[in-house]
């Protein structure tokens, strides 16, 4: 294993590898496959014993209960230009990769409120708008009915189809593929989620729905651009649904690994990389790592200015996660929730915003906003017959050591009295456990770094090609590069395409 300068990297092979990818998360694997599809011989080195990074699935609680350790709702994979071909309903990347079967819950997302009907986000925009209008008259938020609000706000974005989602996931591509759709998205997305919800939507249900979606940003919802996160997720739900993968998210990682191997690539697990110098020679190195780890393994090779930029990169907040094995379905008070894959638990927009603001200010909310997924509603293979799984997390300050189990379960119990009696076993992961599971989850940050307005674009540095590092042939490809967090694999795809373009320009 060789210490290689950038010059040697530019021309590696003859019987070695063209590219080495460090880390096998969705981005590392998507990058590796993109390079392999271009004819490059690719080696992936993964620290963990199992490939997939945020896509791993394990029996965390009891035998026969399969839990997604990290990502479970794979809407961003289903919508992604890099990964959507892996779905069984798509033409497929090739006969060599087992197709991933998406399991769609009858309702992608529900957001219950105390004393009112739940907001239900259905695949159909008009059906969603009708449900939201029927849910009006909750505990405030305006009495005037406005069934068209959701349709007016989200409908045109959905109508733009994959051009919009592809454009958002490839925001730095020039010229943009769908400038008009992107401009329309930007005009509403730039708003703080709270302001947009209050200006564009009537009634607690619709406002809470948008607020809960935007809270996936892990930002104070009063910050600009938080609406964009909520709208992108809403559009994905209308466009492709919010599926889970049959058998667990691991099946997507396995399909990517199968595709890589069929193309002649190799994956070695249990192989933590501690220094760039220890890598075999290759034309390109793709690092599916966050800036802090890059500093650790390559710091002494990087120019001081770039090193300083990586050191300034901000993380946070973290998450606290609980998985449950349940002896039956969740006893939701509102029976409409029985068919919802994801349930946002946090009450009104004001409550959700207050919880997220508290976390952004370094506090633990008494009533956290909880993202709850009942995957077995769509995919009963994950638990023994009649049994179910529950998956949930809430946001906490970076590196928090506070046990949020009781607070999370209280939020579930608030909308599903008797939930605790259904628990057969639970598995809990605070920030330290998450980081031990996956070194990219620094302090429990599951997004690869804060994604506020500044760091959404300076990710990790402000550049037309933020995947490139000053070291020739060395690229970043993790969620710490555009388009950011999620299981879309697009950071890896963009980094790989850049590596291919630059290699072609050199030859």
Q: Which stretch binds ligand FAD (CB under 6 A): 124-132, 166-174, 403-411, 435-443?
A: 435-443
User: Count of CB atoms within 10 A of residue 1's CB?
Assistant: 9
Q: Which is nearer to ligand FAD, 28 or 189 (CB)?
A: 28
- Could you say whether residue 356 binds ligand FAD (CB under 6 A)? no
Q: Of 282, 479, 490, 500, which one interacts with ligand FAD (CB under 6 A)?
A: 479
Q: Which stretch binds ligand FAD (CB under 6 A): 87-95, 125-133, 409-417, 434-442?
A: 434-442
Q: Of 9, 18, 19, 23, which one interacts with ligand FAD (CB under 6 A)?
A: 23
Q: Which is nearer to ligand FAD, 207 or 437 (CB)?
A: 437
Q: What share of the chain is helix, strand, coil (3-state, %, to 5)?
A: 40, 15, 45
Q: Of 10, 127, 424, 439, which one interacts with ligand FAD (CB under 6 A)?
A: 439
> Which tokens is 274 given?
């501690």
At residue 17, what are phi and psi to the nearest 5 degrees?
Answer: -110, 150
- Could you say whether residue 80 binds ligand FAD (CB under 6 A)? no
Quote the least distance from Cβ 413 to ligand FAD, whole Å. 21
Q: Which stretch binds ligand FAD (CB under 6 A): 68-76, 112-120, 170-178, 356-364?
A: 68-76
At residue 481, what are phi and psi to the nearest 5 degrees?
Answer: -125, 165
> Which tokens is 423 given?
């628990």
- Could you say whether residue 440 binds ligand FAD (CB under 6 A)? yes
Q: Is 261 exposed, middle or buried (0-12, 13-18, 19+ CB in 10 A)?
A: middle
- Could you say whether residue 22 binds ligand FAD (CB under 6 A)? yes
CB–CB of 78/241 below 8 Å? yes
Site string for ligand FAD, 206-245 (x = CB under 6 A): ----------------------------------------
Q: Which stretch binds ligand FAD (CB under 6 A): 24-32, 106-114, 162-170, 300-308?
A: 24-32
At residue 341, what are phi and psi to the nearest 5 degrees?
Answer: -70, -50
Interacting residues with ligand FAD between 383 and 402 (CB under 6 A): 393
Query: H-type helices in 215-336, by residue range?
Result: 226-240, 250-262, 291-298, 304-312
Q: Of 21, 43, 45, 232, which one interacts with ligand FAD (CB under 6 A)?
A: 45
484-487 contacts at long range (C-beta below 8 A, 24 or more positions apart): 484/447, 484/448, 484/451, 484/456, 484/459, 485/446, 485/447, 485/448, 485/451, 486/71, 486/76, 487/26, 487/54, 487/55, 487/71, 487/74, 487/76, 487/77, 487/80, 487/83, 487/249, 487/252
Interface residues toward ligand FAD, by CB under 6 A: 22-28, 45-48, 53-54, 70-73, 76, 272-273, 288-289, 293, 319, 321, 393, 434, 438-441, 446, 448, 478-479, 485-487, 491
């Amino acid at each position: 294993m060789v210490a290689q300068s950038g010059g040697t990297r530019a021309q590696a092979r003859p019987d070695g590898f063209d590219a080495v990818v460090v880390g096998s998360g969705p981005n590392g694997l998507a990058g590796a496959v993109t390079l392999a599809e271009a004819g490059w011989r690719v080696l992936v080195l993964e620290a963990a014993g199992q490939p997939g990074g945020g896509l791993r699935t394990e029996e965390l609680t009891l035998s026969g209960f399969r839990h997604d350790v990290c990502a479970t709702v794979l809407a961003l994979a289903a919508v992604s230009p890099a990964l959507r071909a892996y779905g069984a309903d798509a033409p497929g990347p090739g006969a060599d990769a087992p197709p991933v079967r998406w399991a769609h819950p009858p309702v992608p997302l529900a957001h219950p409120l105390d004393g009112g009907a739940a907001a239900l986000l259905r695949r159909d925009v008009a059906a969603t708008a009708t449900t939201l209008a029927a849910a009006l008259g909750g505990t405030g938020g305006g009495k005037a009915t406005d069934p068209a609000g959701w349709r007016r706000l989200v409908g045109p974005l959905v109508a733009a189809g994959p051009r919009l989602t592809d454009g958002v996931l490839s925001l730095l591509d020039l010229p943009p593929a769908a400038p008009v759709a992107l401009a329309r998205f930007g005009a509403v997305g730039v708003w703080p989620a709270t302001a947009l919800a209050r200006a564009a939507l009537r009634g607690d249900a619709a406002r809470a729905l948008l607020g809960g979606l935007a809270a996936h940003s892990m930002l104070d919802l009063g910050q600009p651009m938080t609406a964009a996160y909520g709208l992108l997720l809403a559009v994905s739900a209308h466009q492709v649904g919010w599926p889970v993968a049959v058998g667990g998210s691991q099946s997507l990682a396995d399909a990517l690994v199968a595709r890589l191997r069929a193309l002649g690539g190799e994956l070695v697990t249990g192989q933590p990389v501690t220094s760039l110098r220890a890598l075999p020679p290759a034309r390109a190195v793709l690092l599916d790592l966050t800036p802090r780890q890059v500093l650790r393994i390559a710091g002494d090779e990087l120019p001081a200015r770039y090193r300083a930029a990586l050191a300034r990169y901000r993380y946070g907040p973290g998450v606290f996660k609980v998985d449950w094995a349940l002896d039956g379905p969740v006893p939701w008070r509102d029976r409409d929730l029985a068919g919802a894959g994801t349930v946002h638990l946090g009450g009104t927009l004001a409550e959700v915003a207050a919880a997220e603001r508290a976390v952004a200010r370094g506090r633990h909310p008494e009533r956290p906003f909880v993202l709850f997924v009942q995957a077995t509603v769509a995919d009963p293979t994950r638990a023994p017959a009649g049994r179910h799984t529950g998956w949930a997390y809430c946001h906490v300050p970076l590196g928090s050591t506070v046990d949020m189990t009781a607070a999370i379960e209280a939020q579930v119990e608030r909308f599903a009295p008797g939930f605790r009696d259904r628990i057969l076993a639970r598995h809990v992961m605070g920030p330290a456990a998450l980081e031990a599971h996956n070194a990219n989850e620094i302090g429990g940050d599951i997004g690869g770094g804060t994604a506020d307005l500044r760091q959404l674009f300076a990710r990790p540095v402000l550049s037309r090609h933020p995947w490139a590092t000053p070291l020739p042939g060395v690229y970043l490809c993790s969620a710490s590069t555009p388009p950011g967090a999620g299981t879309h694999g697009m950071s890896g795809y963009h980094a790989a395409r850049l590596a291919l373009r630059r290699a072609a320009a050199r030859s």
